[in-house]
Structure 1
Amino acid sequence: MILYYFIKVITLAIISLFFGLSVDLLGDLPDGPCIFVANHKSILDPIALMDAIDRRVFFIASKDLYKIPILNLILNALEAIPIKKNSADVNAIKEAIKMLDDGRSIALFPEGGISLDKSVIKIYKGAMYISCKTGYPIVPVGISGTDVVLPMGEYFPHAGRISVTIGKSIYPDVSMDKGDCLDKMAHEVVNSLNSLINNRNLK
């Protein structure tokens, strides 16, 4: 936990000093644990999400990232949940549900990786499955500007401003058939993320 807040303080200071970070909260955050989902344009997105949210979050990260030296140590220290990419990882889902049941909030990028698309088009439904199964809400987060500050494939930052817009919580209808609940929430999440991104880009 100490490492998490140390990284948060350092990165927030750097982003605020050299680039700028604005955060808009469009609705009240749930009092209890929730599932934060965000669009993914840059390797800076996890940092932007961490810095913008005023609570401890536990990331779900691709197992491929654990193959990168130093990064794997950071992910383990942050207690991130490793997940197999492009597959239904039952163990990762169980671990995520356990964290939520323990009162912790989790965060993930449902596109499954960095996307070059201007809007969110396709997402994996792991977050929606967890929400429909447990009843915990999803909080959509639109991130803009990270792809300008640090575009995909580059390692030296450019001038720019990062904006994070935290949308209204999306609650599952647990009375519905699980498949219908899953599809309904996925549709709502995609629409919400695109709305948050587009509204920010118009400002």
Structure 2
Amino acid sequence: MSLYRFAKWVVKIILMPLYRVQVIGTENIPKEGPVIICSNHISNFDPPMVGITSPRDISFMAKEELFSKKWSAKLFHKLNAFPIKRGMKDRDALRNALNILSEGRTLGLFPEGTRSKTGEVGKGLSGIGFFALRSQATVIPCAIIGEYKIGKKLKIVYGKPIDLQEMRQNKAKASEVTDTIMENIKELKKNNE
């Protein structure tokens, strides 16, 4: 068993009952082919929570600081994470993400780039639209609804694939695609609160 699978199993045993997690819509995630799961971001627990509730293994971008020590870099790589430099174009991170998708795997992204302090869905970074346009991956919106409070209910909702065919054909801007993805996440959150 890989470290990723073992960690997923352990974290699932701990977090699912602790936060009374309800998972909706996993059937919307294709079993094969490249997939981008785009979620709102409210806590540091979001990546493991999306990771344990998705039926597919997910590779996440993570802030570069988490890879600063040799042991932590090794650990995060084994957990399918790869570093991204904040606030600048990071060609290595872009290449890594596109490689993951070209291999038919799943990429997990938090389009807002940082946690929301209010719990509301914020504006997304245009890089997300870039991945969606360049990869032809299926984009699945995900809404994390509730708070990470012990004993309180937390919902993880996976929506239907976002139809980006027309935007791809019309060579839409990456920022326009990102806006469409964010609207889908907002709608998903609103309809399941």
State the TM-score, normalized to the length of structure 2: 0.88
Residue 2 (structure 2) pairs with residue 2 (structure 1): yes
Q: Is the 8 A contact 1:119 1:197 kept in 2?
A: no
In 2, Cα distance between equivalents of 1:115 and 1:72: 26
In 2, Cα distance between equivalents of 1:74 and 1:13: 20
Q: Is the 8 A contact 2:113 2:124 kept in 1?
A: yes
Q: Is the 8 A contact 1:148 1:160 kept in 2?
A: yes
Residue aligning to 1:19? 19
Residue aligning to 1:155? none
Per-residue CA deviation, residues 107-158 of structure 1 (Å, 9 max, x unaligned), is 011111211133212111222101111211211110123x432xxxxxxxx3
Distance 1:162 1:90, change over 3 A: same
Deviation at 1:166, TM superposition (A): 0.2
Residue 164 (structure 2) pairs with residue 164 (structure 1): no
Q: Is the 8 A contact 1:62 1:83 kept in 2?
A: yes
Q: Is the 8 A contact 2:126 2:174 kept in 1?
A: yes
Residue aligning to 1:176? 170
| Structure 1, gaps ≥5 residues long | 150-157
Aligned residue pair count: 190
| Identical residues among aligned pairs (%) | 25
Residue aligning to 1:64? 65
In 2, Cα distance between equivalents of 1:143 and 1:82: 23
Residue aligning to 1:185? 177
Q: Is the 8 A contact 1:139 1:166 kept in 2?
A: yes
Q: Is the 8 A contact 2:144 2:154 kept in 1?
A: yes
After the TM superposition, which of the residue ranges 2-11 and 23-32 deviates more from structure 2?
23-32
Residue 116 (structure 2) pairs with residue 134 (structure 1): no
Deviation at 1:17, TM superposition (A): 3.0
Residue 43 (structure 2) pairs with residue 42 (structure 1): yes
Residue aligning to 1:54? 55
Q: Is the 8 A contact 1:174 1:181 kept in 2?
A: no
3-state SS of 2:168 partner: coil
Q: Is the 8 A contact 1:138 1:169 kept in 2?
A: yes
| Cα RMSD, aligned residues only | 2.1
Residue aligning to 1:143? 144
3-state SS of 1:174 partner: helix
Residue aligning to 2:78? 77
Residue aligning to 1:153? none
In 1, Cα distance between equivalents of 2:103 and 2:161: 20
Residue aligning to 2:113? 112
Distance 1:122 1:68, change over 3 A: farther
Q: Is the 8 A contact 1:144 1:162 kept in 2?
A: yes
3-state SS of 1:6 partner: helix
